[in-house]
């Protein structure tokens, strides 16, 4: 047992940290948060250094690292700034599906430009009516007519919806089969395909630098070429996909918690009340100590979940625990950071209120905390 990052992992962490310290300017984050705009230039810059393609193989222009290294990068980005970090670390969300299940031609077409940061991607699962937490049945259908698949339906809360150059979408291809999830298939659809329409959703509580939108499919025509993975195996592909990517959400949460905590800690050493720095007042000092204890616990749950995946022993329970716990800790730590800064914490300029707003999403997307707990319970019942 070795609870230590390797020399290379430390170098990676430091490289991302150094980049973010200089490039993730708080003024930029504030402005983009207000305007609800994506930091596209920063995404390209980070991609150029390899920070967004950590676990993509080198043959497609990736870095050939593991999920743990990916998490280190995500954590550092979200620590430096919760809004910019989330936006940049999810700029290529969905392209992991192409990497894991795509055909050779699909990989060659989509991955090199994704690794370079020239393109962005999206994955569309959630629908307005039923599916979100429950993706066992899709209202979005893909029906075969001759050599073509016609996709119809609406997806909602789609990250990068309006920016993505391609979208991987989960559809119902067999409407008769029971259970229904045995009839779901993933397709990759290019931006600009006739019938594909995307609109941006506004006024989100947090992650406002990240684009979230609605994707509408109106007789969007694709062929067998566009199937990602196997026909009618889309549900299984998606579940496995999330078992990996949600470790990344845990890393986002750990990073946000750490970032807000650092702002609060620094402030508590400077701000005085009753003749001493507020850090010396036990309610603040012990609160910060307790928060860091939880952050550290969340961090190691996250690293372990990522490490298990990297060594080929993926454990959905470990993933679910990491995501659920880290996102809760992010909410608590960012909340306590606001409390530490008092009135200032409530102001946008002091950043911690934004970290708190941004942290909330980690309890919702890529499987809500409730679903994570159910997953943990499911695996506990198998063990005990």
Partner 1 sequence: MDIVVCVKHVPETAEAELKIDASGKGIEKSGLVFYINEWDDYALEEAVRIKEKFGGTVTAITVGAEDSDSTLRKCLARGADKAIRLTDPKFAGSDGYATAKILYSVIKNLHYDLVLTGMQAGDDGYAMVGPILAEMLGIPHTTMAKKIELEAGVAKVNRELEGGLEEQLEIKLPALISVQTGINEPCYVSIMGIRKAMQKEINVMTLADTGLSEADMGETGSWLKIEKLYVPPAEKQTEFLKGTPDEVAAKVAEILKARGFI
Contact residues for partner 1, defined by CB under 8 A: 7-8, 10-12, 14-15, 18-19, 22, 48-51, 54, 63-65, 69
Which CB atom, from 23 or from 33, has the smaller least distance to partner 1? 23
Given its phi and psi angles, is residue 143 left (phi above 0), alpha (psi -120 to 50 degrees) or beta? beta
Cβ proximity of 170 and 153 under 8 Å: no
Place of tokens 């043959």: 59
Rounded to a whole number of angstroms, the minimum distance from the CB of residue 65 to partner 1 is 7
Query: How many CA atoms within 13 Å lie on the side-chain side of 166?
Result: 24
Taking the least distance from each CB to partner 1, the nearer of 69 and 96 is: 69
Q: How far apart are the first and last CA of the chain?
A: 25
Minimum distance, C-beta of residue 198 to partner 1, in the bound complex (Å): 31
Give the nearest distance from C-beta 24 to partner 1 in angstroms: 12
Is the Cβ of residue 18 or residue 59 nearer to partner 1 in the bound state? 18
If the CB atoms of residues 65 and 338 are measured against partner 1, the closer one turns out to be 65
Of the listed 197, 363, 366, 370, which one is catalytic? 366
Closest by CA position to 326, among listed 158, 78, 125, 4: 78
Number of residues assigned to the chain: 384
Helix (H, G, I), strand (E, B), or coil: what is residue 216? strand
Q: How far is the CB of 360 from partner 1 (least distance, A)?
A: 30
Give the whole-angstrom CA distance, residue 248 versus residue 75: 8
DSSP state of 305: H
- With a CB cutoff of 8 Å and minimum separation 6, the contacts of 249 are 323, 326, 327, 362, 365, 366
| Gyration radius of the chain's alpha carbons | 21
Q: Please identify, using beta-carbon distances, which residue of 12 and 170 lies nearer to partner 1.
A: 12
Active site residue 118: no
Closest CB 67 distance from partner 1, rounded Å: 14
Could you count the other beta carbons within 10 Å of the beta carbon of residue 274?
Answer: 7
The Cα angle at residue 202 between residues 188 and 162, in degrees rounded to 5: 25
Residues assigned a catalytic role: 366
């Amino acid at each position: 047992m070795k609870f230590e990052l390797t020399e290379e992992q430390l170098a990676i962490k430091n490289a991302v940290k150094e980049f973010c310290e200089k490039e993730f300017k708080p003024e930029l984050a504030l402005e983009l948060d207000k305007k609800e705009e994506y930091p596209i230039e920063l995404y390209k810059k980070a991609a150029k250094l390899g920070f967004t393609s950590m676990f993509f193989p080198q043959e497609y222009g990736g870095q050939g690292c593991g999920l743990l290294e990916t998490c280190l990068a995500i954590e550092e980005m979200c620590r430096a700034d919760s809004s910019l970090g989330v936006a940049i670390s999810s700029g290529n969300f969905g392209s992991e599906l192409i990497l894991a299940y795509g055909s050779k031609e699909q990989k060659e077409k989509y991955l090199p430009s994704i690794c370079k940061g020239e393109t962005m991607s999206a994955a569309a699962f959630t629908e307005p009516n039923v599916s979100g937490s429950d993706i066992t049945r899709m209202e979005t259908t893909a029906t075969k007519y001759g050599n073509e698949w016609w996709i119809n339906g609406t997806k909602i809360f789609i990250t990068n919806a309006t920016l993505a150059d391609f979208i991987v979408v989960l559809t119902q291809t067999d409407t008769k089969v029971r259970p229904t999830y045995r009839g779901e298939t993933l397709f990759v659809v290019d931006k600009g395909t006739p019938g594909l329409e995307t609109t941006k959703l506004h006024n989100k509580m947090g992650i406002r630098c990240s684009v979230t939108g609605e994707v509408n499919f109106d007789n969007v025509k694709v062929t067998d070429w566009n199937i990602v993975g196997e026909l009618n195996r889309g549900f299984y592909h998606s579940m496995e996909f999330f078992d990996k990517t949600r470790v990344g959400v845990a890393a986002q949460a750990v990073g946000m918690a750490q970032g807000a905590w650092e702002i609060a800690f620094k402030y508590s050493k400077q701000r005085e009340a009753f003749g001493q720095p507020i850090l010396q007042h036990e309610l603040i000092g012990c609160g910060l100590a307790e928060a860091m204890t939880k952050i550290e616990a969340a961090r190691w749950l996250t690293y372990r979940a990522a490490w298990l995946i990297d060594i080929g022993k993926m454990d959905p329970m470990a993933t679910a625990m990491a995501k659920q716990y880290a996102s809760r800790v992010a909410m608590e730590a960012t909340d306590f950071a606001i409390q530490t800064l008092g009135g200032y914490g409530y102001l946008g300029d002091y950043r911690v209120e934004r970290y708190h707003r941004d942290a909330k999403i980690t309890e919702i997307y890529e499987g809500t905390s409730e679903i994570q707990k159910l997953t943990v319970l499911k695996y506990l019942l198998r063990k005990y």
